A and B are shown apart, each in its own frame.
Chain A
Amino acid sequence: MIFLNKKGFNMKTKILLPLAVMLLTAGSCKKLEVAPSDAITTETLINTPEGLANALNGAYALFKDHIEFNGTVDMNNMYLRQFYHLSDFASDDIVCGQVTTDPLYYSFSLDHSPSQGNTRYFWYVSYKIINGVNTIIDAVEKQGSEDATKKQLLGECYFLRAFCHFNLVRLFAKPYSVDPNSPGIILRTSLTDPAQKGRSTVAEVYGQVIADAEKAAGLMTQVRGVQYASKEAAWALLSRVNLYKEDNAKAIEYADDVINSGRFTLTNATSFKTMFANATNSTETIFCIAFTDLDDYGKFGSIASMIYSDGNSGWGEEFASSSIRSLLNQHPEDARNSYIVPSEVEGVVQKKNGIEMYYITKFSFQGGSPNLSSPIMFRLAEMYLIKAEALAKQNNTAAALENVDKIRENRGLENMLYNGTLPAGKSALDVVLEEKRMEFAFEGHRTYDVFRNKRTLDKTYWGYHLRGLKETDVNLATKPSGYPNMTVPYTSPRTIYFIPVDEVLSNPEVTQNP
């Protein structure tokens, strides 16, 4: 009844107008599609050669980038920064001059926890690289190409997978030599693996790393520059892994492959002093991660800023330990001293909280910048020292010392060669490890070399790794005594880190380290 309006004739126009507007609105309804502005879908990416090349570049970039983790882009978070902190800050080469809330401090204090930010990020990015290259491997292998460029790309992917798995097993699992059957890390070699997957044993991880690196060496035929993986980089990795595995013959074999490739020569004592500032051009570099000017992260995010400052450029809170300094100081002419620079005022070495400030410069001065370098992952000197260690373990002292001398000849110690004679009271292995400590100080080798050889780390020097140390207790004239944490035996559970809490909580297959 009420629907019948008196003005029924006008109804048409009256209703038409609103209806027209309604239809217009309906018409303006868009197709609900929005494309991302600075990202690309995985399918699009892996189906073009450029996309695959970009994805591989991305895998390299992750070694140097600060990517978001736990909702935050923290400049402290970087694969390499954390790799060096987790490795060397735990060693006897670097001393802590200042207590800090930065989780890097746990490597000194050994107050490890499964929720410490740096191990979590390192674990996360390592697997991001691994799964990223797995995506490329999967796509390329499905495409089944035999072209050399594609094989090179595939080889680099296998190399990076092996390299990342290996660094993980070094930080989160016992050394192979200590217990090959103990829990290693999670192997990610396939896109179709279940997300929840347990840890493989250390031996299984080494097996996979070697298999991947061998495959990589077989695939790579191109030389794209030392900032990219190459056949030689894969051999260098294989040499290192086999040494850790105590397969000394293989370690020597792969070291020889690198040495005999002819691509690299040892730098001399003079050019050694500038090698780390010019890593991409050094004749010794086998593989480095390229940092360009754009990757100069300054005080807040660089590798160098914790261990060096020009007064403004860094935090400069960790220093070369008195232990490594006294070793190198035996021969002031040793070129390797040049990477330890005291912070002096009028000839007096400054102290921070009572600790002498000897800065470390192996990660500085690329292009003159105090915070820039392209960290070297593999260099030729290591091949000689791997050989030396393997030969020493094969009881071939003479050959071992010969290889050690090859290094010393090029570091300003041409007058201090062993010439086949062991110093009194030292074994060949002692000599090799001492040389390696000096040669590779601050380069992320020391803790592994100590613990895999079942030795004890001696940190009996003043520094804030000593539990409860107060500045006022520091007396540089004596050695500290009575403090916990002064020595760390290879049997200590704190020689390795806890599996990050994120993994343990969301992946029940994983067991935690003790």
Chain B
Amino acid sequence: MKKLLLICCCCVLGYLQTFAQTNSVSGKVVSGTDSQPIPGVVVMIKGTNGGASTTADGSFTVSIPGQTATLQFRYVGYTTKEVDVKAGQNITVTLTEDVTQLNDVVVVGYSSKKQSELTSSVTVVSANKLKDVTTNNVGSMLQGKVAGLQVVNSSGQPGSAPEIRLRGVSSVNASQSPLFVVDGIIGGNYDPNDVESITVLKDAGATALYGSQANAGVIIVTTKTAKEGRTRFNAKITTGFRTADFGKLDPMNSSQLYDYQKELYRDYIVGATDNTYKIDLGKFYAERPLRLRGQDYDWVGESFKRAPLTNVYISATGKTEKNSYYVGASYFDEKGTFTNTNYKRLNLRANSTYTFTKDLSITNNINLSASKGNSYDYMDMYYSFLNIPWDNPYNADGSPFYMEPGLPVEWWSRDRINPLHTIENSDHPYKGLNVNYDLVVNYNITPWLTFTSSNRVAAGTDKSVNYFSPLVAGNYKANGGYIYELSSLNYGFISNNLLKFNFQLGDHNLSGFAGLAFENGRTEYSGGSGQGLPVGLKQLSVATSQLRPIGYFNQNYLNSFLSQVNYNFKNKYFLSGSFRVDGSSAFPTNNQYASFPSISGAWLVSNEEFLANNSSITNLKLRASYGITGTQDIGSSRFLGLYALTTQYDGKSAAVPYQLESPNLTWESKRQVNVGFDLSLFNRVTLTVDAYHNNTKDLLLQVAQPLSVGFETRWANVGNVINKGIEIGINASPFKTGKFEWNTDFNVNFNSNKLENLPATNVRSVNSVSQIYRNGGNLYEFYLPKWAGVDAATGSPLWEKLVYNEAGESVAVEKTSNYSEATYQEAGSALPKYQGGFNNTFTYKDFSLRVNTYFSYGAKIFSNNLRYMRNDGNEPYYNQIVLPEGSKIWSGPGDTEATEPSPQNSAGSTETSTRYLKDASYFTIRNISFNYNLPASFAKKLNFEGISVGVSADNVATFTNFLGQDPQTTITGGNFAMPGLQDFKYPNNRQYLLNINFNF
């Protein structure tokens, strides 16, 4: 897009040639990065107004006024170069990439601006900085690359999406994911390979234009368009494999478990007087025969295998006078490391713009994507970790052994279930088909006034099935299997109609737009569940019992007015204001409309005369913005008092109180202040610093009710979440010679978050793990008894018990071995204090090496797996983890070094407490990729313009003290999910890939 614009500018420049042509110089401009020709490079003859621009194959011809001249070559993203030439000479000019991209055109909101004109905090990530990581989701590619963007890859499940938060979490119950805007229209589907660039809008100066949907920031995705005339093809093949990363969750093998279980035979009965505290080996060998050590079955190893991944991408682009197009096809196929999980996706995209007249152009973009995959059942993963190595999962013929709880065979694992047999006889498939069609009309009414109408129709359907054959032991055998099907159909329409203006009056430039937007979306769900299936059939229609139909829909409308005015004076002083009004169907009639204004300004100090000739400061800009964004994304009808009619009693229709009325419900709004500066030094280092203070007011909050009113919560606009923080981004080329180049970028975001003005304190629990929402506290703050170690005298677990005075203040801390006396206390938040990335690229000739890292500090994660896998003998038939170094099980009175309670006196030790709450700070080498561009001459022989090959490794190593699976843990709540609660999650993947890229 930006390059396209530049080509236009260049053409205009070309027409401006008014002088007589005398002596010509010709040549070709190529990129230092990949030796590819660069079209559209501005070639200026220094000291004159004359010049030209390069054609599609990078060639140019200019006429110089005399026999010698100095030519200046300019191109966006590259360092400007000057070359002395003689008349008649033919030269090849190599341009090197510039880390400072001041003249880049950035897509922001409903318009594009030059980077130098920006008045707000915006980060652009270009495609080449994204593509080192191969995933199916752009979000995971962004990890560590944008200051202030927290990306959590909490699951390694095929097809899973990362969780993304910008500048902390600013809502409690409303949506917290940034708004995605694809090609200028909210929402939309695309393949990562189709992405040209990503723009992250971070402050209200930029996001207020998206008003009600922009509370969590905006991520703008721009897909590819043709850059040059000639038809070019690109083919990319990536293939490799992945393995599961279990972090520090290291299950015991047979002999480790055998030795560990001796501890269960210590002669110690609490309260008895004749304890010897010795291990009763006689009894141990009688009950745990030595042969067990030879029965070593690696359940984790059997359930998780190396899995292949393949991505094939082919595209074609081209441009004629009237028409420009891009066609891309991508096929992504990943198997999961966990047995019988996978994901496949096919994506087709066609973008085309037809220019009817110089005043009228129409863009048609269509994206079609189809996906299918296999999910998994949580219990299967649970048993894969917990079954113990003495049990053989297989029959002699290698098929999974059928184990049912009541089967009288030797089986040690607690619930007497073989997950491998379950997996073989169950199926969790899902499928999806999605179509987007965009129609954009651009019509220049006058040179300064343009009408733009951008519209999208989107439709999609998804289906998922959860099936267990009657052959599966347990519940399913008893009930004749189980099937659950859910289909959804979604469709929607968005239309934005804007009048855009732009005038230049002397040193004054005024631009902006005003218009109307309309959004409508509806999703319908239908399906059902049933039991009593004939073996071999997987249809709901053949189920004979427990038939339960499912059906409901969600619908929403949004009507908007939006406008923006930008003013700049001499390209030094910039001022921008925007105003949006949104009306949402989520609120009662009188509260549907709200307005979202913003104002932002910038001073481009480096354009002032006093810095004009300063060679060290090449760019300096000061920025400030203030604005309001909002949220309405809480689903429809939250303001009504409702009874749900989804149940029955004695076969008769039954209505259950479902929601308390909240007739005054309205928008949540976030007041955002941002100040920052951009500084470039010596054209080598760019520093961007931003500080922000975001106050979300009138939270759309599910206010805790006393349970005795019969409802957990009532929706209300109350309470504040305040996020304060600093973001620092540094981009530099510390080393740059002709052949060798080192580029580095570092970014970090410090964020603190605070809850205020809540009307009531609320505790939320999942799996007995609690978090507290209180005034002065943080979001996702754990609320647990504090672990106080092991009682050296008795080996019992200890917790803190606070002693309170009459005024309710705690005055002393005691220790108690009685869990029910332990005091619940605030114990830290699941959100990090700071996080960021440090990325380096080294280029030598045609080789390049890129190393991306990501770090996160200060988050607390509850490692719920340890409640099972470090359970002090409370549940002896779960497998245990190898105890970390420095751990010691209590062995007798006076054992002051013990870190683990006595199995004989461990009652309550696995109850939720800070014992399992761990510091999840980590530093991870996210990705290493190595690329080689084959010599152009070699590629030519094969009829290609360029060929590059590369290898990459993802999630290479994670450095952390976190005890559990890898520390990336969900920060989203939900069914059985809590931010910061890790519970036998699908392990992340280490990934090793080979990729080959052809241009022709």
Contact = CB atoms under 8 A, between A and B. Distances in A.
Contacts of B445: 11, 14-15, 18
Nearest to A302: B475
B520 A41 contact: no
A301 to B, nearest CB: 10
Contacts of A316: 405
A345 B409 CA distance: 11
Nearest to B553: A37
A317 to B, nearest CB: 10
Interface string B929-968: 0000000000000000000000000000000000000000
A287 interface: no
A71 B656 contact: no
A468 B794 CA distance: 11
A468 B584 CA distance: 58
Given A2-B505, A14-B446, A482-B271, A117 B478 contact: no
Most chain B beta-carbon contacts within 10 A, residue among A34, A99, A292: A34
Classify chain A: how many residues form its interface, as a range. 35 or more
A472 B280 CA distance: 10
Interface stretch (B174-182, B388-396, B904-912): B904-912
A237 interface: no
A137 to B, nearest CB: 13
A350 interface: yes
Contacts of B822: 113
A30 B910 contact: no
Given A40-B645, A51-B655, A299 B585 contact: no
Contact of A196 (B414, B475, B706): B706
Interface in B450-482: 451, 453, 473-475, 477-479
B768 A115 contact: yes
Given A17-B443, A22-B497, A54 B820 contact: no
A109 B640 CA distance: 43
A211 interface: no
A38 B545 CA distance: 23
A311 B404 contact: yes
Contact of B653 (A54, A101, A195, A470): A54
Contacts of B818: 111
Given A109-B908, A124-B707, A505-B761, A25 B516 contact: yes
A238 interface: no
Contact of A34 (B407, B556, B652, B653): B556
A71 B505 CA distance: 58
Interface string B113-142: 000000000000000000000000000000
B658 interface: yes
A51 B766 CA distance: 34
B271 A71 contact: no
Given A57-B653, A503-B706, A117 B497 contact: no
A61 B650 CA distance: 8
A296 B546 CA distance: 8
Contact of A61 (B414, B649, B706): B649
Interface stretch (A125-133, A400-408, A438-446): A125-133
At the interface, is chain B mostly helix, strand, loop or mixed? mixed
A267 interface: no
A421 to B, nearest CB: 42
B740 interface: no
A481 B271 CA distance: 9
Contacts of A67: 656
A123 interface: yes
Given A5-B446, A18-B497, A26 B516 contact: yes
A147 interface: no
A505 B763 contact: yes
Contacts of A34: 555-557, 585, 636-637
Interface string B397-421: 0000000111110000011000000
A312 to B, nearest CB: 4
A293 B656 contact: no
B15 interface: no
A29 B763 CA distance: 41
B192 interface: no
B873 to A, nearest CB: 6
18 contacts: A14-B445, A15-B445, A30-B559, A32-B587, A61-B649, A64-B649, A70-B764, A71-B973, A109-B907, A112-B820, A113-B819, A113-B824, A128-B710, A131-B710, A292-B651, A312-B474, A468-B902, A482-B270
Interface of A: 2, 5, 7, 11, 14-15, 17-18, 21-22, 25-26, 28-30, 32-43, 45, 51, 53-55, 57-58, 60-62, 64-65, 67, 69-74, 98-101, 103, 106, 109-117, 120, 123-124, 127-132, 135, 186, 188, 195-197, 225, 227-228, 290, 292-294, 296, 298-300, 309-313, 315-316, 343, 345, 350, 353, 370-371, 467-468, 470-473, 481-484, 494, 498, 500-503, 505-507, 510
The 7 closest A-B pairs by CB, nearest first: A311-B406, A131-B710, A18-B451, A507-B706, A57-B654, A299-B475, A32-B585
